[in-house]
Amino acid sequence: MNPFPDDFLWGAATAAYQVEGAYQDDGKGLSIWDLYSHLPGATYQGANGDRAVDHYHRYREDVRLMAELGLKAYRFSISWPRIFPSGAGEANPQGIRFYSDLIDELLKYGIVPVATLYHWDLPQALQDQGGWENRALIEHFARYAKTCFEQFGDRVRHWITFNETINFIMLGYRDGVHPPGVRDEKRAVEVSHIVNLAHAQAVLEYRKRVREKKIAGGMIGIAHVLLTGFPISESAEDVAACEWYEEMDFHWFYDPSLQGRYPPRLLQYYQARFQAPTVLDGDMALLQSAPSDFIGINYYQSAFLAHNPADGVGFAAINVSGEQGTQKDSGIPGLFKRVRNPNVAYTPWDWSIYPEGLYAGMKRIRERYGDLPILITENGLGDKDPISPEGEILDAPRIAYLREHLRACQRAIDEGIPLAGYFVWSFIDLLSWLNGYQKQYGVVYVDRVRDLQRKKKQSYFWYQQLIQTNGAAL
Ligand code: IFM
């Protein structure tokens, strides 16, 4: 096998709401998650990100741990309501200061900052004006993006506009388990179009500033979920079911930012079913004018698909209970349903462990979107890590998971896929949205009883060695 490229970005990732805490400090406004997580019964044991792991106050200690780990890159997200407490209006200098200091601290250790603009924490003030259903958000987002480019673009060269559009849109507007808690698929489809336009507008803002030499050039893209689909059998019906699944959960979300269009068959289906999305003059031209520089993919698991009779009879979708809560609708009658694959291992949250899906997914991405650089912007295992009597965090299953997925990466690189970096999700144990703090992803443990003390896990040392050898220790 070829070694990993010399400049491979060995990274780790987090997101603002999941780690920062300090939810009302230094002029920060409230986000939709600040309110939603406080609703009775919304999250596991009422967990919220009010304090999270207090990264806002401990970022120096955390960056030191990153440096010791040997990270080449760190992916974090910027909290929109920290920069614009009410979504628009005046920027908050203290919010800008926090990210500026964080970036400087990373650069001090030679760690490349990779910034995500939107990891789900919309300012509540904008939700009160209709949230992502309101086209005015396109301009608000562009202004927020522009502010971040101007404030941090001298030092940040890797930008991600949105994290996992499928999740905050479908869980928030179709399944109603994320804010704003809407259950209406038509509204979800409308929102997906507005979010795509906001992404495109932000990309244009970025390119304009680079062109005018106001900021240094870099790369801008988007981080999508890759949940590779496989038919559960070779029957024509299951194969067709898988094709529908891929249209809905993969192409619908990737195509607009990578090809400036919607997959025609699904567009027709949504138009026939509920006359959505509403596409105005100029919308498609905007999408086409803003191709991404790279493809970010967040891969955790694959999906196994079977035919789903139109009358719903035999609908036996697995309980896709996960990070984002229980997705009751894991299929569409008449099109597909997700089923358990008896030959594959599953995590305690019923997520399939299938490294092959990462490799196959990257190949499909290259076939459909060409040779754009790929960054694996998230990959990791959500688990309950036991602690030995001596206090060691025992996370051998995480090491096995990461190793197998990195082997899949190596195989992809070997076949010429331009994979430029890999970010473990996550750097540190953090708030796993609806699952609270019980679902752990970090290579660094946080002791929630002892004042959020940090402790290196077995996986931390394993990853450290791997980075030191540029992957040769795999
Ligand atoms: O915790 C999340 C993250 O915020 C987005 N991607 C999936 C992770 C694990 O579920």
CA of 323 to the centre of ligand 1 (A): 7
Give the pLDDT confidence score for residue 312 in this predicted structure.
54
Atom of ligand 1 nearest to the CA of 378: 6
Nearest Cα neighbor of 320 from 227, 244, 190 is 227
Query: In one letter, which amino acid is 119?
Result: H
Give the pLDDT confidence score for residue 59 in this predicted structure.
98
Structure tokens at 242: 């898988």
Structure tokens at 275: 């006359």
The model's pTM is 0.96
Give the pLDDT confidence score for residue 231 in this predicted structure.
97
- Please, what is the angle between helix 185-211 and helix 264-274, to 10°? 130
Active-site residue, 243 included: no
**Among 383, 429, 432, which is best to mutate for testing ligand 1, by the most ligand atoms less than 8 A from CB?**
432
Maximum alpha-carbon separation in the chain? 65
Active-site entry in 20, 164, 246, 247: 164
Active-site residue, 164 included: yes
Contacts of 38 (CB under 8 A, 6+ apart): 48
**Among 225, 298, 321, which is best to mutate for testing ligand 1, by the most ligand atoms less than 8 A from CB?**
298
Nearest Cα neighbor of 329 from 245, 402, 232 is 245
Smallest CA separation from ligand 1 atom 4, residue: 15
Phi and psi angles of residue 425, each rounded to the nearest 5 degrees, phi first: -100, 110
Do the Cβ atoms of 442 and 427 come closer than 8 Å? Answer: yes
> Using alpha carbons only, what angle is made at residue 297 by residues 308 and 335, rounded to the nearest 5 degrees?
10
Do the Cβ atoms of 410 and 28 come closer than 8 Å? Answer: no
Give the pLDDT confidence score for residue 328 in this predicted structure.
42
Handedness of CA 472, 70, 377, 196 (dihedral sign): negative
Please, what is the average pLDDT of the chain? 94
The correct answer on CATH 3.40.640.10 for the domain covering 16-372+400-421 is no
pLDDT, tens digit, 9 for 90 and up, residues 243-278: 999 999 999 999 999 999 999 999 999 999 999 999
pLDDT, tens digit, 9 for 90 and up, residues 454-467: 999 999 999 999 99
Structure tokens at 280: 């105005």
Which pLDDT band holds residue 318 (cuts at 50, 70, 90)? Answer: very low
419-441 average pLDDT score:
97
Atom of ligand 1 nearest to the CA of 441: 9
Atom of ligand 1 nearest to the CA of 298: 6
Residue 237 has pLDDT above 60, yes or no: yes
Which pLDDT band holds residue 329 (cuts at 50, 70, 90)? Answer: very low
CA of 300 to the centre of ligand 1 (A): 9
Helix, strand, coil abundance in the chain, percent, nearest 5? 40, 20, 40
Of all residues in the chain, the percent with pLDDT exceeding 70 is: 95
Handedness of CA 114, 167, 226, 384 (dihedral sign): positive
| Ranges of each domain in the chain | 16-372+400-421
Residue 330 has pLDDT above 80, yes or no: no
For 365, the 3-state DSSP assignment is: helix
DSSP state of 2: P
Structure tokens at 198: 């906001």
Give the pLDDT confidence score for residue 309 in this predicted structure.
80
Q: Report the DSSP pairing between strands 352-353 and 345-346.
A: antiparallel
Which pLDDT band holds residue 419 (cuts at 50, 70, 90)? Answer: very high
Do the Cβ atoms of 223 and 378 come closer than 8 Å? Answer: yes
